[in-house]
């Protein structure tokens, strides 16, 4: 008996789908079998896409405040939401003295650094420092008085005064001028 390669491939695919379907049914049934009162937390009941909970909703889980992300993951503690007045705050740094946060903001426009003061209060203050270009990296000096930001396509590192909230210089990494 001669084997047809196309028939063999088709049978292999059908078999793979049948195994996958059986595994899924088994997982669903296994989950139903474990519905007992021995769970210590409702946390395990959350699954992507977090049922019908919107991403902006804050929930209590075992006494802790948490935000439900669209992926179903939980972010806790929820803290205070701060608008950095810029697109895509990709980089984040906490000053060594713990009093200030800096975000480096990249995107289509408004490249900037946002300096966030009073981070322990309910009303943090934000100072946006506009730049020509940025890329991900931001760090504070050990004394928390300066911040340094990757300059992106410009090939430089911006140097800023954290207290004044302004750029005071730039280090050229291109080896010219």
Phi-psi region of 110 (alpha: psi -120 to 50; beta: other; left: phi over 0): left
- The HSE-up count of residue 19 (CA atoms within 13 Å, CB side) is 6
Half-sphere exposure of residue 118, counting CA atoms within 13 Å on the CB side?
A: 9
Of the two residues 112 and 77, the one the predictor is more confident about is: 112
Question: Of 24 and 169, which is predicted with more confidence?
Answer: 169
Per residue in 15-28, pLDDT (tens digit) is 566 566 655 544 44
53-62 CB contacts, 8 Å cutoff, 24+ apart: none
User: Do 73 and 117 form a contact (C-beta atoms < 8 A)?
Assistant: no
Q: What is the pLDDT of residues 40-95, one digit of tens each?
A: 555 555 454 555 555 556 677 777 777 777 667 777 665 677 887 777 788 889 99
- Report d(CA 76, CA 85) in Å as an integer: 23
- Going from the C-alpha of 149 to that of each of 4, 72, 89, 101, 146, the distances in angstroms are 63, 33, 13, 13, 10
Task: Quote the pTM value.
Answer: 0.58
Residue 156 φ/ψ, nearest 5 degrees? -135, 175
Tell me the domain boundaries of the chain. 44-79, 89-172
């Amino acid at each position: 008996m001669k084997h047809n390669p196309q028939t063999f491939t088709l049978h292999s695919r059908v078999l793979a789908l049948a195994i996958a379907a059986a595994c899924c049914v088994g997982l669903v049934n296994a989950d139903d079998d474990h519905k007992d009162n021995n769970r210590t937390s409702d946390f395990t009941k959350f699954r992507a896409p977090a049922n019908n909970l919107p991403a902006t909703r804050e929930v209590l889980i075992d006494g802790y405040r948490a935000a439900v992300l669209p992926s179903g993951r939980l972010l806790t503690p929820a803290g205070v939401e701060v608008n950095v007045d810029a697109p895509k705050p990709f980089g984040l740094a906490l000053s060594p003295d713990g009093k200030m946060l800096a975000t480096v903001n990249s995107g289509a426009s408004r490249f900037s650094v946002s300096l966030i003061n009073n981070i322990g209060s309910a009303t943090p203050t934000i100072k946006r420092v506009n730049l020509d270009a940025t890329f991900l990296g931001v760090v504070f000096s050990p004394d928390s008085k300066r911040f340094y930001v990757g300059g992106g396509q410009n090939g430089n590192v911006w140097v800023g005064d954290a207290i004044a909230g302004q750029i005071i210089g730039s280090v050229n990494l291109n080896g010219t001028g």
